[in-house]
Chain A
């Protein structure tokens, strides 16, 4: 890993990361603190909002980490330094994962604190588990975007594949979520999206099925991050 590069990446993505993280935390705290929204907090926030909002950061930043800089040409300056391409990809990946850990770690702290302050009645462990689950969705998204970013030399292709796939998963998840409200025919839609692998309902009833589902999300993330790094290290770069 290259620390100077990590620092540069952190700086150039700080605004988007900060904004998305701030908004996500404010909404979460509000949903827990307000009495009327409290019961709907999990389906609203962890069912839809959380993955939609984090997708913004993942898609914008994921594209910029590799494909965007190759497309722009500024990757030439990073690669003029004696750094291996694998190291560059690995550093960018570390940034992506660490910033997501930051976002969801903060959300875990904020949700537990809001729960205590407002006496909302959630178990702290449940809130932590919900955030772990939501993190795994973001991790898989990040991997998908990273793979697209590593494969393509043009932003439009990286956004058009990785970005589009992520949006598609979110839309299917939203459509599928209506199955919970009695539209049984939509139940199958849930099998078409990886977002449903985050089984927040099972976490709420303190079941155990959710853990193995999250492992699948983790697997998707690991494989796709691997693909992005490998392809980026071996392809021709127009720099």
Chain B
């Protein structure tokens, strides 16, 4: 299959353990790949390096075999980009801005652009300086998608969007994915990535420490997170000894959270028959829980 993004030992060392280190990443055409991590984990640095805005200290990255630093003007023909920080040039309205941008791209306003504007419900006549954060984000999204580029690099594309618009965004990603567009996006909202991504990379201190693919998604979802509060400490102790995998224990309130696979739920219910319970809740394990757990371990 066609390789869209390829990084080899990609490193940008900002010293003091900041930056990205020895990143080896392959994204095939048509894949949607997410990258998550805490603030400062290196998500934006990865994006900027792929855009050719930053020169790597070591290693290199390629877009369809073209070096993203030395052949940046050629690789950008293939990229639509949403920067992590949205700041527009001094133009009057959103409309002037989009028109200027289309001229820079040497493209013209067609039905696809209009469709995007409709989809995100953007008021183009609004003064660009007075736009709300969400409005700016939506304009930036239109800017990236209207390039019709085969690769989209989206740095935290959903910040500031309301839930309805977030859904509109997810729909759009799935739509372009169906057309064979490759999408690489960063986020700290795990659940929106779950709906769109084939793979999710977990970044910590500039290193990819975990990759979640479709198989792992299923494994993660096959676990239940059960939060139990017992009335007596005997019952609390009983659960604690029977289930080794606990993610949260509070002996004062007799509160315990256990992680069990779906197949073992019956065992738990049997055990609970003899225990007096104040409160109980079941949740399917999500990426949020999973990464929370991972973070504690690593």
Contact = CB atoms under 8 A, between A and B. Distances in A.
Interface of A: 2, 4-5, 7-8, 12, 69, 72-74, 76-85, 87, 234, 236-239
A222 to B, nearest CB: 25
A7 B81 CA distance: 23
A115 B102 CA distance: 47
B89 A8 contact: yes
Contacts of B88: 74, 77
B280 interface: no
A77 B143 contact: yes
A87 B72 CA distance: 12
Contacts of A87: 73
B77 interface: yes
A8 B73 contact: no
Contact of A80 (B79, B85, B86, B87): B79
B89 to A, nearest CB: 4
A230 B73 CA distance: 16
A1 B284 CA distance: 57
Contacts of A76: 53, 81, 83, 87
Contacts of A84: 72-73
A83 B104 contact: yes
A237 B53 contact: yes
Nearest to A69: B89
7 contacts: A73-B86, A74-B87, A76-B53, A79-B53, A81-B105, A82-B74, A239-B83
A77 B89 contact: yes
Q: DSSP majority for the A interface?
A: helix
B152 to A, nearest CB: 11
B48 interface: yes
Interface of B: 48, 51, 53-55, 72-74, 76-77, 79-81, 83, 85-91, 100-101, 103-106, 143-144, 147
B81 A80 contact: yes
A69 to B, nearest CB: 7
A12 B91 contact: yes
B89 A12 contact: yes
B54 A237 contact: yes
A234 B54 CA distance: 9
B54 A236 contact: yes
Contacts of A8: 89, 100, 103-104
A32 B91 CA distance: 39
Given A73-B83, A73-B85, A78-B104, A85 B72 contact: yes
A73 B72 CA distance: 18
A185 to B, nearest CB: 47
Contacts of B81: 76, 80
Given A84-B72, A237-B53, A239-B51, A74 B89 contact: yes
Given A4-B100, A73-B86, A73-B87, A82 B51 contact: no
Nearest to B54: A236
Contacts of B89: 8, 12, 69, 72, 74, 77-78
Contact of B103 (A4, A74, A236): A4
Contact of B55 (A73, A81, A236, A238): A236
Given A76-B83, A82-B105, 15 more contacts: A5-B104, A8-B104, A12-B89, A72-B89, A74-B89, A76-B53, A76-B81, A77-B104, A80-B143, A82-B77, A83-B76, A84-B72, A87-B73, A234-B55, A239-B53
A77 B101 contact: yes
Contacts of A85: 72
A198 B106 CA distance: 43
A97 B83 CA distance: 31
